[in-house]
Amino acid sequence: MKLKVNRTFNFNAGPSALPFTVLEKAQQELIDFRGTGMSVMELSHRSKAYEDVHNQAITSLKELLSIPDHYEVLFLQGGASLQFSMIPMNFLQAGKQAAYVMTGSWSEKAFSEAKLFGEVYQAASTKDGKYRSIPKLDELNYKKEDTYLHITSNNTIYGTQWKEYPNTGDVPLIADMSSDILSKSIDVSKFALIYAGAQKNLGPSGVTVVIIRKDLLEKANTNIPTMLKYSTHAKNNSLYNTPPTFGIYMLGEVLNWARELGGLNAISELNDKKATLIYDAIDSSDGYYIGHAQKDSRSLMNITFNLKTEELEKRFLDQAKRKGFVGVNGHRSIGGVRVSTYNAVPFEACQAFSEYMIQFQKENN
């Protein structure tokens, strides 16, 4: 007998919604994973059963993102926050500089960590404009001798997203794509390193994906702890120590779901339709809803806005909660409303929220 499941409209910014079919499959395989008599969480990470899961997840990610052969795919731990330190630790060399583009809180944190390891500077910043936009490509002031240029592709707190990426030539381009990886097609070959926490579009929290060009690995600093070297994990297929096996299993199943959905083109088209529903409600409100991001920098993953007064915002959020919309409070640093429309958030959820916005305005104008 199949139990009736009561699901909310989950707009959490992360950990975020997972595909329902993936959760159902995980539920079915939880106790006896594919005839092993054990849960996937009980399998040895050295076993053939887990090795197949691990390698298939890597293969699926390479296929979906069209990752060239001269890149390694790593499954690490510690989230993007650990990458803020690992990147300069590995690549910021003595006597050289690295450039950072400041577009929000996460780029600020990455910059602060990098300062602990060497010389860094800001190649551009939109902080003076309250992080409402992404810098124009011709506004990026980095140097050809820089060790790398670091960007944050999508800004969850402020609701901005890069629409195109710079061609940096010989300067390695590094991107934190935690909140929009797998949401659209990208040219991986533009980047020397991409990193992303899994808990937005890839799976549950606990796994960090790193896509790194092999020649960059060869240039890394060597006098650092073994576990903090990318080369350690590349040489050992991310199995140097016990990996987050269940998280990687779930990541693999999310990738299978993405493939069955039609791949990145289909996902990108759906994400655009979902975000448009809510942006249209903002734009047609005659200023009742005030979007934070400039239109040319709007994120398709995190939609941020305010209402005309704090009292209205509180009423809006209270009623949204009662109607089953979860996770729509803005980040504590800026307040307001934030609707995260990651891959696994259904179109119907965004449609329902858009209708709620329109109805709320009619009733509270």
By annotation, the residues acting in catalysis are: 106, 176, 200
What interhelical angle do 20-29 and 245-261 show, nearest 10?
Answer: 130
Backbone dihedral angles phi then psi of residue 310, each to the nearest 5 degrees: -65, -35
Amino acid identity, residue 11?
A: F
| CB contact set of 167 (below 8 Å; sequence gap of 6+) | 190
**Whole-angstrom Cα distance, residue 307 to residue 40?**
46
Tell me the CA distances in angstroms from 73 to 62, 63, 79, 217, one per residue in order. Answer: 8, 12, 15, 12
Tell me the CA distances in angstroms from 100 to 116, 122, 138, 290, 328, one per residue in order. Answer: 14, 5, 15, 29, 30
Pairing of strands 9-10, 160-161: unpaired
- C-beta neighbour count of 166 within 10 angstroms: 18
Q: Which alpha helices (DSSP H) does the chain contain, by range?
A: 20-29, 48-65, 79-91, 105-114, 214-218, 230-235, 245-261, 263-283, 310-322, 347-363
First vs last Cα of the chain: how many Å apart? 47
Pairing of strands 193-197, 149-152: unpaired
**Whole-angstrom Cα distance, residue 13 to residue 26?**
22
DSSP, collapsed to helix, strand or coil, labels residue 42 as: helix
